[in-house]
Structure 1
Amino acid sequence: MTTGYQSNSNENGAHEDIALYSGAIDRAAYVRQKIESGLTLAEANAEADNVISSAINQRYNRNAVRSSYDYIVVGSGSAGSVIARRLIDSGKGTVLLLEAGGSDQVTPVMRPELWYTNPGSTLEWGHVAMPQTHVNGRAVPLTMGKVIGGGSSINVMAWVRGHKTDFDNWAAAADDPKWGYKHVLEIYKRIENWQGKPDPEYRGVGGPVWVETAKDPIPLAHAMVQACDQVGIPAYEDHNGVMNERDAGAAICNVLIRDGRRHSIPSAYLHPVLHDPKLTVLTGAEVHRVTMEGKQVTGVQFFWNGQLHMVSSTCETILSAGALNTPRILMCSGIGDPSKLNPHGILVRHALPGVGENFQDHPILAGINWEYKEGSATPPRNNLAEAMFAYKTDPSLDQPDILPWLFEVPYASEVNSQIYPLPAAGWGIHPGLMHAKSRGRIHLSSNDPRDRLRIESNFLEDPEDIQTFVRAFDICRQVANAPAMDDFRGREITPNLKGDELVNFIRNGVITYRHQTCTCKMGTDEMSVVDNNLKVYGLEGLRIADGSIMPEVTGSNTMAPCVIIGERMSEILISQ
């Protein structure tokens, strides 16, 4: 990804709780800062007690790792953090949460405007798809978080629930209405702490997830929503309300930003229970395999502090490592398609052909940019992407098939940025395919869990995806050329391309929204990996709860749907 944006923010403003937790400030300084922020002395002391007890508890637990826990959760992302919290709250037993990455209390995570620096950094795995013919031989990076919070700690902070049809399709695939829109909507209402206009039918308050509409968006963002309305895409006050049941709509986006800081899923779920002695969180713990006795999964093998460790689970092991690493762990454990495992000398412990298949993502066309009209440029705010719209490029579809976002900085792929150089001040409208027809797959490159995966993304392999992008290119230009954008629209960086020139622009411009999913899908057919209760078919003691279980990727950003997966997994485990 190439942008024309450089942050001018300074390095001040580290979170007081984290500074105390890590020892960067002492208790007296912490209490003084809290009082200055408006708390009473008693309230400030109570918060200090909680932070200190959390730090002591986790330091103790890390130094006294047990040989067995009731539950092992692999991955602390948008599903894993939820599961750990719900299990602790339920009193079901002890929980070991293993995270391969490090702390989320670092500046690029906490400061919303720096999210664009996270891809390619030490905060992510560095996965890259194999070079693919249909994107002109390019190897597209597939960013996935390697830090407490996973993708929720490095992403663009957009809280987009998904369309009604998405969840009803999941319910049909799983043959279970609890995965349908009606039940999922109630979960969303229960977990949200919505800061916008009250809407009891669609929004909830009092839950752990602080959701707000992007505060004080730049004038360009409001103009784009108005422009959408002018070309027949209705404007909505809230895209997570009734718009999720409609064919099209535009809105200022919902974000997980609180008091100017990223409100990641661990911020909502995990941090408040770090003081609980039943919870142990290990960072830098890279899980290599699950351990098995026959068809019973007994625990995990992981690399931590320079050594291999084995820990057992008395109840369940839950893989929440994401759509790339969860199938890796399964295959390295001998669980998967024998034709994929045998070439690497991996003993097949359980044949399951769907592991690593059905890879889906949201490819985005990066590079539809305009220069700001002279005198109209405004520094970007919030997450640098404050407005979006959903649209059906084909009227016969049952839901929108593209989700373009306004980027408040010029933005393009590594190729298109060379062909069409980015301006110093500009903006773009970049469409993502929400339901691409192309499918990919995940392979091991060896029997060593540390080796790079071979990922066949197969972006644009299906010709229909090219045609959808062609239609998306046209609608994005219609929005940008609507009267509401007149005050901001300067030179078009990518003129109105046609025919083969446009197709080549698309092949050079496709990157990804980083919504890798569907590689261990939930369902009832022979390629399904988990059932409706997220139990791995044919095995005991092993479940999967992350984006890999989606039968089809949602027509939305995937953080919020992954939280739903974590909540559903929690409902299932706690009801046992």
Structure 2
Amino acid sequence: MKLNIDDKNATENPAIAQRGVGDVFDFIVCGAGSSGSVVAARLAEDGNASVLLLEAGGDDAAETVTNPGQWPLNLGSSRDWSFVGQPAPGLNGRCLPLSMGKGLGGGSSINVMVWARGHKGDWDHFAAEAGDDAWGYQSILGYYRRIEDWRGVPDPTRRGVGGPAYVAQPQSPQPVAEALLNAASAIGIPVYDTPNGEMMEGPGGASIAELRIRDGKRESVFASYVRPLMSRPNLTVLTDALVTRLIFDGQRVIGTEVLVDGQRRQFSARCETILSLGAINTPKVLMQSGIGPEEELQLHGIPVVQHLPGVGRNHQDYLAFGCTWAYRKPEGVGGGGCEAKLYWKSASHLGQPDILQCQLEFAVPSPIETGLEPPEHGWTMFTGLAQPKSRGRLRLSGPNTYDPILIQPYSLSEPEDMAAALAAVDLGRELGNGDAFTPLVIGETAPGARDRSGMIDFVRRSAVTLRWRLVLSSESGQPI
């Protein structure tokens, strides 16, 4: 279905029109998630190039997308690809659910809306690996300033104003968020006014989170970048359009084959075709098109266009472990439920933070394998790995569009990850059991005090990806 770019309300909530589109464009961008939305907008903004933006999912008009407090209801729904990993030895054979946004905005339409920028050490590492200072932190700060429309305390060196990405902190954070900052300060972790300025240049710290919420509504990357351009005749956005494979002239990509409303179509690109289908669907489409490890393609009878052994390799994801406390009485939930965050190091010798703590203002159930019940009212510290060492692999199960991708995450396969996980859980428990939380909580419900082997068992049984999926109450539709 084509978004009606002529609708007078298109910039607010584009309508869907049952109209056909042409077959040839200058650029084809596959995937209208965070990356694809930016690329399509930048290509279309000067009006000289015709751009087709393809999205397998639907629009972003649902209340569960626009209302920040309802984001958990998207997980496991039609707006989620709902991938599941293969049994992972490091997780006691568990299969890890892997949620990923499906629809305009991609993950930015179903996530928690926290604005999180890369650490200085990460960008300087990229620059060193590439041998190009343009990837370094000082260079990237210029991009951050141009991207942001920062509504907090001015910081001309690090923050930008007037960019497409609206970023603001909650005006009145919940008491549990303030308690986290006080607990961090009490054990010597510095507290910052914002998490994306000076805090991203040193050993870490704690701060009230920055959110992509404007006037009480979600602000996805699609909304920030593409929607303002929807009235331009050179931009076409097609939803319910599943990219199935690339079309070649020799070894040159000249377009895509797409299922549009279930009908197979081909679109041609005069200049370039850009795949921005996420970390799972991008390698799937590449391999099923004939680009990837030769032995993998031949196994499924796929003609090899280009032997590229790295496709499907080096899969990375961020694991988190839920530590939960029961409230004395029900407390409010602000923003999207995450109003405070913390970055810190699992060991003092490290040069930069490798632990991410994301505080959720409601009690999230642990995976059923832990045997732990969540409190009726409480809060959760998702304490996780920001620098995981384990690497996984994606394999094909067949050559056809609906043959599922096999995701082998190899979670916690590297001993450094288990060491960091134990340190992360210890830190989360130390914070949550600190005096700052005493007025708010009765006590800890997960994981509770354990010896080392018991904590290792908890880590393996409780680990979820930060693309995690909540268990929802069938009666209220609220997280339980």
- Are 1:332 and 2:332 matched, yes or no? no
Q: CA RMSD in A?
A: 1.9
Contact 1:365 1:430 in 2 (8 A): yes
Does the 8 Å contact 1:54/1:276 carry over to 2? no
The equivalent of 1:398 in structure 2 is 351
Residue 146 (structure 2) aligns with? 190
2:438 maps to which of 466, 480, 486: 486
Contact 2:245 2:258 in 1 (8 A): yes
Is contact 2:11-2:229 (8 Å) kept? no
Instruction: Tell whether the 8 Å contact from 2:101 to 2:110 is kept in structure 1 after alignment.
Output: yes
Q: Indicate yes or no: 2:321 matched with 1:369.
A: no
- The corresponding residue for 2:185 is 229
| C-alpha distance in 2 between matches for 1:255 and 1:402 | 20
Match of residue 257, structure 1, among 184, 202, 213: 213
Q: TM-score, normalised by structure 1?
A: 0.78
Pairing 1:403-552 to 2, within 5 Å after superposition:
403-415=356-368, 419-494=371-446, 495-514=448-467
1:214 is displaced (CA, Å) by 2.1
Letter in 2 for 1:420: L
Match of 1:161 in 2: 117
- Secondary structure of the corresponding residue to residue 151 of structure 1: helix
> Any idea what the Cα deviations from partners look like across 1:64-89, whole Å, max 9, x if unmatched?
42121000000011111111111111
Cα contact 2:244–2:401 (8 A) shared by 1: yes
Aligned-partner Cα distance in 2 for 1:349–1:171: 31
Which one-letter code corresponds to 1:51 in the other structure? Answer: A
Q: Confirm or deny that 1:296 pairs with 2:255.
A: no
> In 2, Cα distance between the equivalents of 1:405 and 1:53?
31
Counterparts of 1:49 and 1:108, CA distance in 2: 24
Residue 241 of structure 1: aligned partner: 197
- 1:115 positional shift: 0.9
Closer, same or farther in 2 for the Cα pair 1:274/1:48, shift >3 Å? closer
Quote how far apart the aligned CAs of 1:90 are.
2.5
Q: CA deviation at 1:255?
A: 0.4
Question: Which runs of structure 2 are paired with 1:19-168 in the superposition (5 Å)?
Answer: 49=8, 51=10, 59=17, 63-168=19-124
Q: Does 1:387 align with 2:340?
A: yes
Corresponding pairs, count: 464
Q: In the alignment, which residue of structure 1 is the partner of 2:473?
A: none
CA distance in 1, matches of 2:7, 2:33: 26
| Alpha-carbon spacing, 1:211–1:292, altered in 2? closer, same or farther (3 Å) | same
Q: In proportion to residue count, which structure has more strand? A: 2
Displacement of 1:187: 0.8
Segments of 5+ residues of structure 1 without an aligned counterpart are 1-20, 23-46, 516-576
Q: Per-residue displacement from partner, 1:10-38 (whole Å, max 9, x unpaired)?
A: xxxxxxxxxxx99xxxxxxxxxxxxxxxx
Are the counterparts in 1 of residues 55 and 242 from structure 2 also a CA contact under 8 Å? Answer: yes
Shift of 1:133: 1.4
Percent identity of paired positions between Structure 1 and Structure 2:
41
**Over residues 326-348 of structure 1, what are the superposed CA-to-partner deviations in whole Å (9 max), with x where a residue is unaligned?**
00110011000011111100111
Query: Structure 1 residues 48, 510: closer, same or farther in 2, change over 3 A?
Result: same
Q: Name the CA distance, whole Å, in 2 between partners of 1:455 and 1:346.
A: 19
SS at match of 2:37: helix
1:380-431 per-residue CA deviation (whole Å, 9 max, x = no partner) reads: 1101111110000112222101101111111133225x62211111112121
Q: Is the 8 A contact 1:404 1:431 kept in 2?
A: yes
Please give the TM-score of this superposition, normalised by the length of structure 2.
Answer: 0.93
Question: Structure 1 or 2: larger helix share?
Answer: 1
What is the alpha-carbon distance in structure 2 between the residues aligned to residue 104 and residue 397 of structure 1? 41
- CA offsets, 1:191-238, max 9 Å, x none? 111111111111111111110012311111011111101111100000
CA–CA distance in 1 between the matches of 2:249 and 2:426?
57
Instruction: Provide the secondary structure at the position in 1 that maps to 2:274.
Output: strand
Which structure 2 residues correspond to residues 315-354 of structure 1 after superposition, within 5 A?
315-354=271-310
Residues of 2 paired with 1:309 and 1:173: CA distance?
A: 40
Unpaired segments ≥5 residues, structure 2: 469-480
Does the 8 Å CA contact 1:480/1:489 hold for their aligned counterparts?
Answer: no
- 2:439 partner letter: D
- The equivalent residue for 2:132 is 176
